Chain A
Amino acid sequence: MSADPYNRKVRDSFAAPPHAGELAGGIDARVDAGDLRVEFAATLEDGRIAALRFRARGCPHVIAAAEWVCDYYEGKPAEALEVFPIARIMEDLAVPTEKTGRILVLEDAIQSLGRRLKH
């Protein structure tokens, strides 16, 4: 049997991502890249990201990565959005290298969100 293309984290995040959905009163940023669409929304409290939510249309790795990103940044200072931990995401979620470009779309969306939060 060939290896499962999705590890447990991807499967769990895909099936029931806790950070999926809209965020009332949040500041959002969105990137469309062909068939892939991703949107993040955040609220700040004392300069820290109080809540971060996503909505995404993409493959299971993209959805799982969006969930991973939300979980990672929540509680961190807004400036943390300037650094995107792509290597950790790729490793944690066992993202195939050919999907790197899709994860970089998430990076674009997060950095766009960081810029919007500054203003």
Chain B
Amino acid sequence: MPGKMIYLDYAASTPVDSRVLDRMREVAELNCANPSSTHAAGREAQAIIAEAAAQLAELLNVSPGSLIWTSGATESDNLAIAGGARHRTHRGKHLVTMKTEHKAVTDVFEALAKQGFDVTWVDAGADGLLCPDSFAAALRDDTQFASIMYVNNETGVIQDIEALGTICRERDVLFHVDAAQAVGKLPIDLGNLPVDLLSLTGHKFYGPKGIGALYIADRAGCHVEPILYGGGQQRSIRPGTLPTDLIAGLGMAAAVAATRIEPDLAHLRALRQLLWEGIRCVDGIRLNGDPGGFPGILNVSVEDIDGESLLLALEPLLVATGSACNSKTGEPSYVLRALGLGDDQAQSAIRFSLGRPTTRDEVEFAAARYRDAVAHLRKLAPDRAA
């Protein structure tokens, strides 16, 4: 197997499913019209988009009209948080989120804080889980908006969205969930979850990049102000010409996911267990985050190993040292540091993320590679204490 790249970075992005590709190609060849056009081809594009909305709506158990198309989760998060908080200033200016959220969330809250909003950053426990009581304690009379991610992109930790959402409903707090790592991978029934806004993106569940959606619950007071202007599409909440082929691809990815979630989860659970059993013997290793998290992610640190060297020694494995969105900074993961890891532990962290195409052979090879890489680097290094 040496020489062949082994992709274990499915939390960063997934390959496009062949059925999705087929659908996108079919739509791109069939229809070049602007979906806003009123002529026959434009109406046909609208019908294609409506079909995709129905597919995604069925996956989430919502009405198609509650979905707003965006360019991806970052835009959905921005629209939900900035748009939601600005819409609800009559309720107050206090907002609540977590320290371990994705940058697409934390950066928006930081921007809002500079604009006069008051943000409370709640802590996760050492396992990455947010205690609902701690969350409730952070809410104030003037709290108007909260955002908590479903599945953490670095650790796979799954938050208790039902409990947190129930607290928000009781306190009249608009509740947004960044579900970029959850949609299409975990069963999500928004018809029965107390969630007001939910962000998703296609490329995390075998759909195309460049297309996502924001779910906006159809209930009184649940609305967002636009952050983009022009054109009037999508009720002016998110104007702009809709990319028919990408939307059709996202719809098909949702339709495929609807039939694959349970078998995918069983597949990932078995592979994650195999991987962890294969590397847990390494001296000084620790599993980061709640062991009962999303089985597609395994985040581990190891004592006294340089993270950059570990990443190179792991080739041909394609894994992540932090989330793909901030790994270029070279800084230890702020998510892991928020869980109490020291710089040394956070800096050596490796995120293995597994996917639908991952095989047992690949996982067994990865485990062996990890053991060998750590042994190689320890052999090169002088003892800790001179």
A20 in contact with B380 given A14-B312, A59-B308 (CB within 8 Å): yes
Report the count of interface residues on A (CB-CB < 8 A). Answer: 18
Contact B306 A57 (CB under 8 A): yes
Chain B hits for A39, CB < 8 A: 382
Chain B hits for A6, CB < 8 A: 312
Interface of A toward B, CB cutoff 8 Å: 6, 11, 14, 17, 20, 30, 32, 35, 37-39, 55-60, 63
A63 in contact with B382 given A6-B312, A58-B306 (CB within 8 Å): no
Contact B309 A58 (CB under 8 A): yes
Chain A hits for B306, CB < 8 A: 35, 57-59
Contact A14 B386 (CB under 8 A): no
Partner of B386, one of A32, A56, A60, A63: A32
Nearest A residue (CB) for B386: A30
Chain A hits for B312, CB < 8 A: 6, 11, 14, 60
Chain A hits for B379, CB < 8 A: 20
Most interface-central of B304, B305, B347, B386 (chain A CB within 10 A): B386
Q: How distant is the Cα of A37 from the Cα of B385 in the complex, in angstroms? A: 10
Partner of B382, one of A55, A59, A60: A55
Contact A14 B382 (CB under 8 A): no
Chain B hits for A37, CB < 8 A: 381-382, 384
Q: How distant is the Cα of A32 from the Cα of B305 in the complex, in angstroms? A: 14
Q: How distant is the Cα of A32 from the Cα of B312 in the complex, in angstroms? A: 23
Contact A38 B382 (CB under 8 A): yes
Judged by a CB distance under 8 angstroms, whether B279 is at the interface is no
Chain A hits for B343, CB < 8 A: 35
Contact A57 B382 (CB under 8 A): yes
Judged by a CB distance under 8 angstroms, whether B364 is at the interface is no
Partner of A55, one of B304, B309, B313, B380: B380
Chain B window 362-386, contacts with chain A (Cβ cutoff 8 Å), 1 for yes, 0 for no: 0000000000000001011110101
A63 in contact with B344 given A37-B382, A57-B304 (CB within 8 Å): no
Most interface-central of B304, B305, B308, B344 (chain A CB within 10 A): B308
Chain B window 147-170, contacts with chain A (Cβ cutoff 8 Å), 1 for yes, 0 for no: 000000000000000000000000
Give 5 A-B pairs besides A35-B347, A57-B377 with Cβ atoms closer than 8 angstroms. A30-B382, A35-B344, A55-B380, A57-B305, A57-B382
A56 in contact with B347 given A30-B386, A63-B309 (CB within 8 Å): no
Most interface-central of B309, B381, B382 (chain A CB within 10 A): B382
Chain A hits for B309, CB < 8 A: 14, 58-60, 63
